[in-house]
């Protein structure tokens, strides 16, 4: 499986799309230098908001552009024939692809994250530990999306896979707020139905520390631990389901 992981990572890292996305990500982090003066004293808050949002957004773009093609290329160009006829199970193949994509996301997010933390630390004059934790939170959010994109790639083409991932991402963001609204307006049946969806779709809000970072509030340890464990379990389940689907697929 090690070979599949390394090859998947190598393939993604050599993709030119990655460089373009990274360049735009860096430009976005520094864009607050231009927009900042317009906010009348809120430059640092704006820099934190745009910076963290950029890491998530560009990570999502990498997942959509590269992640969706990682498996599709193998199936479409039939390179997987030479791999799956060697002593490697289909599940190991899928897991290898997922880990390779995760490594790509980890490396690119860390590059953007280090630039972001350095920039914020320069602006505030002190090292921002909360910014570091917020970046880790974004990486874990992206990990869940890696699981979803790999699952989508087992039964959808890249275009539909991208739509599926975007839909899951948006729905996952909306559900917790929708449950609160349903409870507020006493629509308990709707709230119950939404709660079922809450188990299926990823709740990225557990790992969204942006507000805490912007308003300089500490991130509670239990929230960090719960968020990280949730992301790991959710991603593992997605990869497991993807493996089960791929196991039965005719190649």
Residues at the interface with other proteins (CB under 8 A): 2-4, 7, 10-11, 14, 77-79, 81-89, 248, 250-251
Q: How far is the CB of 237 from other proteins (least distance, A)?
A: 24
Q: How far is the CB of 251 from other proteins (least distance, A)?
A: 5
Nearer to other proteins, 14 or 186 (CB): 14
Minimum CB separation of residue 130 from other proteins in Å reads: 39
The per-residue b/e assignment along 187-205, b for 16 or more CB within 10 angstroms, e otherwise, is eeeebeebeeebeebbbbe
Nearest approach in angstroms of CB 249 to other proteins is 9
Q: Where are the beta strands (DSSP E) in 122-211?
A: none
Give min distance, CB of 1 to other proteins, in A: 9
CB of 147 to other proteins, least distance (A): 24
* CA–CA separation, 217 and 34 (whole Å): 26
The vertex-65 CA angle with 62 and 67, nearest 5°, equals 75
Whether residue 99 contacts residue 182, with contact meaning beta carbons closer than 8 Å, is answered with no
Nearer to other proteins, 7 or 118 (CB): 7
Helices (H), 63-89: 68-76, 80-84
Instruction: For the beta carbon of residue 17, count every other beta carbon within 10 angstroms.
Output: 14
Per the CB < 8 A criterion, the answer to whether 96 and 4 are in contact is: yes
Between residues 84 and 181, which has the closer beta carbon with respect to other proteins? 84
Q: Which is nearer to other proteins, 80 or 135 (CB)?
A: 80
Q: For the chain, what's the residue count?
A: 251
Of 41 and 87, which has the nearer Cβ to other proteins?
87
Q: Which is nearer to other proteins, 79 or 195 (CB)?
A: 79
- Residue 103 φ then ψ, to 5°: -60, -40
H or E element: which one contains 156?
Answer: none
């Amino acid at each position: 499986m090690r070979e599949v992981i390394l090859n998947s990572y190598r393939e993604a890292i050599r993709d030119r799309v990655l460089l373009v996305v990274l360049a735009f990500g860096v430009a976005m982090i520094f864009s607050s230098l231009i927009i900042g003066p317009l906010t009348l004293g809120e430059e640092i808050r704006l820099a934190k908001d745009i910076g963290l949002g950029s890491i998530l957004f560009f990570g999502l773009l990498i997942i959509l552009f590269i992640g969706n093609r990682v498996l599709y290329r193998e199936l479409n160009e039939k390179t997987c024939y030479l791999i799956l006829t060697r002593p490697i199970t289909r599940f190991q193949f899928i897991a290898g692809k997922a880990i390779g994509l995760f490594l790509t996301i980890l490396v690119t997010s860390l590059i953007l994250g280090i630039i972001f933390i350095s920039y914020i630390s320069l602006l505030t004059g002190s090292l921002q530990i909360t910014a570091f934790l917020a970046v880790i939170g974004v990486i874990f959010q992206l990990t869940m999306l890696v699981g979803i994109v790999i699952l989508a790639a087992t039964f959808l083409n890249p275009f539909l896979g991208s739509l599926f991932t975007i839909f899951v991402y948006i729905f996952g963001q909306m559900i917790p707020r929708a449950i609160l609204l349903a409870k507020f307006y006493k629509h308990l049946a709707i709230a119950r139905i939404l709660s079922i969806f809450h188990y299926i779709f990823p709740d990225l809000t557990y790992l969204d520390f942006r507000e805490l970072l912007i308003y300089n509030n500490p991130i509670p340890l239990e929230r960090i631990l719960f968020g990280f464990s949730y992301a790991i379990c959710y991603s593992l389940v997605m990869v497991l389901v993807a493996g089960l689907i791929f196991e039965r697929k005719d190649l």
